[in-house]
Structure 1
Amino acid sequence: MNKKIFILCGELSAEQYAAKLVPFFKKQGYEVYALGGNLLKKSGANVVLDYKALSVVGLTEVIEHYSHLKKAFNLLVEKIKELKPDILICIDFPDFNIRLAKKVKKYVGKLVYFIPPQVWAWRLYRAKFISNLFDRVIVLFPFEKPLYENARYYGHPLTEMIEVKSSENEFEKKYSLESDKKRVLLLPGSRKKEVISLTPHMTDFATLILQKHNDIDFLFLPSPSLEREVINLFKAEFTKETSTQLYEIQPQDKYEAIKYSDIAIGSSGTVSLECGLLKTPMAALYKLSNLTYFFGLCVVRSDFITIPNIILEEEVFKELINFTLTPENIMDYTEKVLYNPEFSEALKKKLDKLGTMLHKDKILENITKEIMD
């Protein structure tokens, strides 16, 4: 009888790590099942439920989608009871994953939390609870390791996963870009609601900066998890409001787009760390419901939201949240990056530290060994 692993990841940022682990597991003879998406399917996992059904952003969004989340939760519980996997791996997505892990603990051989919740930002008391519930916790950042009794740290997988395959000249030719123009990369998010909320802020900013500067190309890197309808709506709205061309970048050219852009603007998350490791400055935009925003103000312990800022302990990437999220503020930071070489170079020197802090040898291999041990 084959050994079985069940992976739970509720969004694309978690799935990109999970998909890299699957080949290691399959090589050792494991059958792999998952809550996931297309990346996990392509890696060879049997996807039991697509995580798109679970994509919500904040507190009010969770309340609105409660019945749907509950149905998905129950379906996964029953599947795990049926399969009785040797290992259950929870990746990020804490409230859902922790509750599910509690429910199915007696039906699995080993419980692993890979990328646990950011207890250092808020709800620190959960660290002890998670350490007791899970057999092993694998963290992404060195400062997280002391928070969990059974934690392991092997470095950040992104330092192994990021690969720029094409030269800047090849990238420019592929997308018919002019080498003497500044490049602004737009990253409106991986969820439909996120894209819709950020679209007017991006179009208003672009309209404003184009009134002053005519040497800017706008690139658009849509998340692979977005439906084509949402992508087309963003492109149509942007070109209509700004009267300028928008260059859509294909998913396989993600790292080239980041590396060869002068600045990235958009929703944060994993992409902010990717920008940091590729030393591309970023303005991180956050548009939350008022309830989620004010709740966060009361409970969040960190001074920053963007991962590179948290690691470097200063605002290297500009964070614009709700009331500070204005076209003028986006433009102010963008102009500094594009037209003040000293400012831009100073940012890149600070970002140099990220790779040094997060890189180790054989990260993915050591993580999979730890999980299977």
Structure 2
Amino acid sequence: MDQVLMIAAEASSVTYAQRILELWKKQGRKIHAFGVGSQEMEDLGFERFGKSEEMAVVGAAEVISHYSDLKKVFNRIVDECEKRRPKVAVVMDYPGFNLMLAKKLHEMKIPVVYYISPQVWAWKKGRVKTIKQYCEKVLVLFPFETKFYEEHQVPVEFVGHPLLDEMDEKLLDPTYLKTHRNQCGIRDDEIVLGLMPGSRRQELKQHFQVQLDTARILAKKHKNLKVVILTAPNFSKDKMLDYLEDFRLPYILLKDEPFRMIHLVDMMLVASGTATLQVGLLHKPMVIMYRVNWLTALIARMIVTSKFFGLVNLILNKFAVPENFQGQANPENLAKQLDRYITDSQHKASVVNDLAQLRQHLGDKGVTERVVKSLDEYLTK
């Protein structure tokens, strides 16, 4: 049985890793995968040495506070790889951890395939040298990433974005939307604001209260506002309820497949990340926010080279939707930007039109099949 190392420490990466495991299982492949992942991956037979829900931290200060736990997982992974000699290592996003690991694996002559490339084209471009040195190839989600890696002589393959395989086309149907909203207790005359504070623990802490305060400001002007709170896959509803004791606005707390939740809303206040792309693919106007520890923010301002940090803006190469970092991400500012979607129909239509262009940048469906086929060169059939 072929051994494969997989590192999926982020909430979005976990879904894509899970799809690979499901396809291998469907194909009847004799593959045993181990590493970092989710409970859902473990249920598929994945051997878990690191839990994604505990390892999804971002930023210098946050990583420092979790360093000892991350180091233990790192050392365990290295030890297991020395014993098992996996045929290939599939590492996903999470560059601080994965690039250090890639160096160790390279020394052991274990090929490393980087799937879900870190955004080295936007910040820390020097990391591309490390990727080139220690990774066999990179599987990228966006066409513009192909050009970047080719310019740096890194073996690269464009596979497309796996989110396309996750989205049910009926979610774009207005008739289905009306029916689904009514089933969820949303009246036709209500304005639905969605809140997505993020999938990491520190994101919930940094963002959720700000988002709730933003909704309060907006509700003073629009009495027919209803709030839909979207629970990340790795959180429980109970964790969200801790923040809602004093929240008196009409709200629905949901935990469902992300696209099914997103399609219910008229507009979204969302933490920067993969969620912005999910919102954009459903053509929902949004305001992007992100807040971090002050030290992380200071470092980010010094090393980020891109003028955008929101994924939809990066892909479209324009400020299609507002993005707010640190002090800008305050309730008054966020409420003002969201209010424009309600009061300025021409502005809203323009944003929706921009978001409708996203799909053409993401390739075709069948991404997991292409990834598995790309990995086949390292595995016995």
TM-score after normalising by structure 1 = 0.93
Q: Determine the C-alpha separation between the residues in 1 that align with 2:5 and 2:51.
A: 14
Cα shift readout 1:59-109 (whole Å, capped 9, x = no counterpart): 111112211211121122122222221111000000101111211334464
Q: Determine the C-alpha separation between the residues in 2 that align with 1:325 and 1:265.
A: 11
Q: Who is 2:324 aligned against?
A: 320
Cα shift readout 1:37-62 (whole Å, capped 9, x = no counterpart): 12323444232321223222211111
- Root-mean-square deviation (Å): 1.8
Runs of 4+ aligned residues of structure 1 deviating over 6 Å after TM superposition are: none
Q: Who is 1:125 aligned against?
A: 126
Q: Determine the C-alpha separation between the residues in 2 that align with 1:42 and 1:128.
A: 36
The number of residues matched between the two structures is 367
Q: Which amino acid aligns with 1:163?
A: D
Give the deviation of 1:251 after TM superposition.
1.7
Secondary structure at 1:203's aligned position in 2?
Answer: helix
Kept after mapping to 2: 8 A contact 1:23/1:44:
no
Q: Determine the C-alpha separation between the residues in 2 that align with 1:178 and 1:339.
A: 19
Kept after mapping to 2: 8 A contact 1:281/1:347:
yes
Q: Determine the C-alpha separation between the residues in 2 that align with 1:43 and 1:321.
A: 38
Q: Determine the C-alpha separation between the residues in 1 that align with 2:344 and 2:145.
A: 36
Secondary structure at 1:123's aligned position in 2?
Answer: coil
Q: Determine the C-alpha separation between the residues in 1 that align with 2:127 and 2:208.
A: 35
Q: Who is 2:143 aligned against?
A: 142
Q: Who is 1:330 aligned against?
A: 334
CA gap of 1:290–1:158, structure 2 versus 1, over 3 A, is same
Q: Determine the C-alpha separation between the residues in 2 that align with 1:231 and 1:41.
A: 25
Cα shift readout 1:143-183 (whole Å, capped 9, x = no counterpart): 11123220100211112221256622332233211121111
Deviates more, 1:336-345 or 1:269-278: 336-345
Q: Within the alignment, does 1:230 sit opposite 2:235 as a pair? A: no
Corresponding residue to 1:370 among 366, 369, 374:
374
Give the deviation of 1:301 after TM superposition.
0.6
Q: Who is 2:290 aligned against?
A: 286
Corresponding residue to 2:199 among 190, 207, 229:
190
Q: Who is 2:21 aligned against?
A: 22
Q: Who is 1:10 aligned against?
A: 9
Kept after mapping to 1: 8 A contact 2:272/2:288:
yes
CA gap of 1:304–1:94, structure 2 versus 1, over 3 A, is same
Give the deviation of 1:230 after TM superposition.
2.0
Q: Who is 1:299 aligned against?
A: 303
Q: Determine the C-alpha separation between the residues in 2 that align with 1:136 and 1:372.
A: 13
Give the deviation of 1:17 after TM superposition.
0.9
Q: Determine the C-alpha separation between the residues in 2 that align with 1:251 and 1:107.
A: 42
Q: Determine the C-alpha separation between the residues in 2 that align with 1:228 and 1:179.
A: 26
1:200-279 equivalent positions in 2, closer than 5 A: 200-236=209-245, 240-241=246-247, 243-252=248-257, 254-279=258-283
Secondary structure at 1:234's aligned position in 2?
Answer: coil
Q: Determine the C-alpha separation between the residues in 1 that align with 2:88 and 2:80.
A: 14
1:10-89 equivalent positions in 2, closer than 5 A: 10-26=9-25, 27=27, 28-89=29-90
Long gaps (5+) in structure 2: none
Q: Who is 1:354 aligned against?
A: 358
Q: Percent identity?
A: 27
Q: Determine the C-alpha separation between the residues in 2 that align with 1:323 and 1:109.
A: 44
Give the deviation of 1:265 after TM superposition.
0.7
Q: Determine the C-alpha separation between the residues in 1 that align with 2:142 and 2:285.
A: 21
Cα shift readout 1:296-342 (whole Å, capped 9, x = no counterpart): 11111100111110111111121111111121211111111122211
Q: Determine the C-alpha separation between the residues in 1 that align with 2:118 and 2:217.
A: 38
